[in-house]
Structure 1
């Protein structure tokens, strides 16, 4: 048996597919893997039940939930809310930053100490402090995966409480990590500017090669099916620009399919926007979230994946989203907004789709019109995406980078 590895997240497995992929890769290579997390929402709890039945690693949830160990859930919520209020009043010191970053920061740390491991890995900012502190307490190795440029994940305002808190935690704990990974080359580059003495390894947020994907050619006079998905349906996601672009094309053959947690007020907003752009009701459809292992088969029914990042902050501009790699694995042509990260990516994989100007709906409309009227170009892009996913942009290939980082850390 290889070393024991404990992964810590302030989320749930179903909401953290990158963490799941890392746990899977480690377990498949003989490591004894334990994941510690906390309740986030009911949808994830239901999905976790099926997900965890298939795993070779163990999951421990701390801090209760609205249904199980409700007392612990209420107490940790109270502490978390109090810490967030104190953060605004007295700042990040005295453990306030750690408490405000995750509802179960203390419990994650205590459980990590119980799960004595040779390596602790933190995922997302709420898992950073518990992982590093537990490793240092036990005098073992630790690492952290920065899936985003966390300090500017939600805002570029350096006085914003979230920016202040995450900046403090990164500067406090990053130097103590034995390794640091990121999810895009530009995130690594940005962190390197801040921490020139630290090393950052890029591990792309790609997925295992899906099985039984059939790429169906799109034919003239058939609907051109567009697909977008995320955990939530909201603003600053490029959806408004997509709707406006569809209106500019002015064709009843274009369908927009949105998969996310439904919020009635957002659905009403986008329906109203669609109507004002003369888009017919049948042209826009909403779909509820599905288990992540079913997403690729589901996505393959569509023609074009919309990577519509708006670049509204630094992180959004330099990250490569999981939706982008989902589209490629599923064999969809991709329409990329021209964020810095996506424009760079498109230079390496020009056959997989087209780039459009993120602030110009007419640019997206031109790309849609091109594929609407040139179905063979569309079909070639779909085949190019699927080929890239099968041969290069997949977790079977990328996980080797991650496993090498872990192995080198443990052997150092």
Structure 2
């Protein structure tokens, strides 16, 4: 009999790689139910949507921010968890067939999973209390108590996320985590062990594209950056990188941002740089084939926070699947990864000059060797590997 599994997410799962690919991994072995904010249909799952909040970090008034800070200082977190937009979640959960597992893709929704587990097991919610009760699997995409590290956030919403980790996270039956250092910190601070689970894209039957500049001297090397841009990510480095590289290189940026003003400013600045092109974003399934035509994938993330320093970015694995050479800032996690999978190099520093030197130091043959290395490990670092890991973990939880 197929188990009944619900996935809780505080965003549209079709626009986020990890939950979308988790659904792909499990849909053949389970009855899936997706309960997500403003969700779109997912193949192989029944989907239920709840609305986005009326205000977000950009649009909240000073008074609204002060109210949030006050609630957090008082330790009154319930109004921030059980919002009016989410009040339908318990009703949806109760309307479903008895659930065997809830996968929580955003920790702010973990209390809803714990409440359901408590109700379904007669008021008990310890993970070892009732073998037949609903199990909970949490995907720890980052170290949530340090999602932002500025003092205002830490003294406000940071307290909420610390509360979620202290009070609710130990009630989970299993956790996934994006990198080993982040997993180690969760274990050290909250006593929670995690399974390493990279954000691996589907396997694409592609080959490394030829490097045109090696056969046509007038053709520039082609670089791509895709993903979120923001001030804390040091994304203006991309603008300076294009200027420093000059006419022998073309940098294309396929960018999104949670801050519309920042995105507009970035695009305006890019207009004056001849070898920088802004590309329109594409859906998840199109990222890898779209990037295959390029030579080098750029990761410009800064070590400005614990999460940044220890990240394993989605774009890393998408660049590999696109059969690119990868050039990155010297994040600890990437340095370790490149020692095992020689698909690229890290720069000597985090600034645009260091990134530019790392790129210009590469010969066409070296770039092609890295592209071939990405080709060699593309199947291992694909959804095929993750899907089996996810199915094995679910079977072990439900056994």
TM norm structure 2: 0.86
**Structure 2 residue 54 is the aligned partner of structure 1 residue 61:** no
Go from structure 1 to structure 2 and tell me whether the alpha carbon gap of 1:395 and 1:269 turns closer, same or farther (over 3 Å shift).
closer
Quote how far apart the aligned CAs of 1:93 are.
2.2
Counting only pairs closer than 5 Å after superposition, residues 251-290 of structure 1 correspond to structure 2 as 251-261=246-256, 263=260, 266-269=263-266, 271-272=268-269, 275=272, 280-281=273-274, 283-290=275-282
Go from structure 1 to structure 2 and tell me whether the alpha carbon gap of 1:299 and 1:410 turns closer, same or farther (over 3 Å shift).
same
RMSD of equivalent CA atoms: 2.7
Contact 1:244 1:274 in 2 (8 A): no
Provide the residue aligned with 1:119 in structure 2.
101
Provide the residue aligned with 1:383 in structure 2.
372
Quote how far apart the aligned CAs of 1:269 are.
4.3
Bigger Cα displacement from structure 2, 141-150 vs 253-262: 253-262
Quote how far apart the aligned CAs of 1:233 are.
3.5
For 2:64 and 2:89, the matched residues in 1 are separated by 16
Secondary structure of 2:47's partner?
A: strand
For 1:20 and 1:153, the matched residues in 2 are separated by 22
For 1:109 and 1:289, the matched residues in 2 are separated by 35
Provide the residue aligned with 2:244 in structure 1.
248
Go from structure 1 to structure 2 and tell me whether the alpha carbon gap of 1:186 and 1:406 turns closer, same or farther (over 3 Å shift).
same
Contact 2:267 2:278 in 1 (8 A): no
Contact 1:24 1:57 in 2 (8 A): no
Secondary structure of 2:159's partner?
A: helix
Go from structure 1 to structure 2 and tell me whether the alpha carbon gap of 1:75 and 1:305 turns closer, same or farther (over 3 Å shift).
closer
For 2:120 and 2:143, the matched residues in 1 are separated by 28
Q: Deviations over 1:275-315 (max 9, x none)?
A: 5xxxx42x111122211111110011111111111122111
**Structure 2 residue 134 is the aligned partner of structure 1 residue 145:** no
For 2:139 and 2:235, the matched residues in 1 are separated by 29
**Structure 2 residue 290 is the aligned partner of structure 1 residue 301:** no
Q: Deviations over 1:104-124 (max 9, x none)?
A: 333223322222311111111
Provide the residue aligned with 1:169 in structure 2.
164
**Structure 2 residue 19 is the aligned partner of structure 1 residue 27:** no
Quote how far apart the aligned CAs of 1:253 are.
2.1
Go from structure 1 to structure 2 and tell me whether the alpha carbon gap of 1:127 and 1:386 turns closer, same or farther (over 3 Å shift).
farther
Contact 1:149 1:319 in 2 (8 A): no
Go from structure 1 to structure 2 and tell me whether the alpha carbon gap of 1:315 and 1:217 turns closer, same or farther (over 3 Å shift).
same
Q: Deviations over 1:154-175 (max 9, x none)?
A: 2264833232111111111111
**Structure 2 residue 221 is the aligned partner of structure 1 residue 224:** yes
Quote how far apart the aligned CAs of 1:386 are.
2.0
Quote how far apart the aligned CAs of 1:94 are.
5.2
Contact 1:338 1:358 in 2 (8 A): yes
Q: Which ranges in structure 2 are unaligned for 5 or more consecutive residues?
A: 122-133
Contact 1:123 1:144 in 2 (8 A): yes
Quote how far apart the aligned CAs of 1:184 are.
1.4
Q: Deviations over 1:326-356 (max 9, x none)?
A: 101110100011112112212212x211101
Q: Which ranges in structure 1 are unaligned for 5 or more consecutive residues?
A: 40-44, 66-72
Provide the residue aligned with 1:396 in structure 2.
384
Provide the residue aligned with 1:36 in structure 2.
35
Provide the residue aligned with 1:68 in structure 2.
none
Provide the residue aligned with 1:98 in structure 2.
81
Question: Which residue, 175, 180, 187 being the options, matches 1:180?
Answer: 175
For 1:85 and 1:258, the matched residues in 2 are separated by 37
Go from structure 1 to structure 2 and tell me whether the alpha carbon gap of 1:84 and 1:180 turns closer, same or farther (over 3 Å shift).
farther
Contact 1:181 1:203 in 2 (8 A): yes
Secondary structure of 2:278's partner?
A: strand
For 1:156 and 1:187, the matched residues in 2 are separated by 19
For 2:395 and 2:10, the matched residues in 1 are separated by 25
Secondary structure of 1:289's partner?
A: coil
Go from structure 1 to structure 2 and tell me whether the alpha carbon gap of 1:110 and 1:126 turns closer, same or farther (over 3 Å shift).
farther
Go from structure 1 to structure 2 and tell me whether the alpha carbon gap of 1:235 and 1:106 turns closer, same or farther (over 3 Å shift).
same
Secondary structure of 2:378's partner?
A: helix
Go from structure 1 to structure 2 and tell me whether the alpha carbon gap of 1:291 and 1:20 turns closer, same or farther (over 3 Å shift).
same
Contact 2:26 2:390 in 1 (8 A): no
Contact 2:165 2:190 in 1 (8 A): no
For 1:266 and 1:292, the matched residues in 2 are separated by 20
TM norm structure 1: 0.83
Choose between structure 1 and 2: higher helix proportion.
1
Bigger Cα displacement from structure 2, 103-112 vs 199-208: 103-112
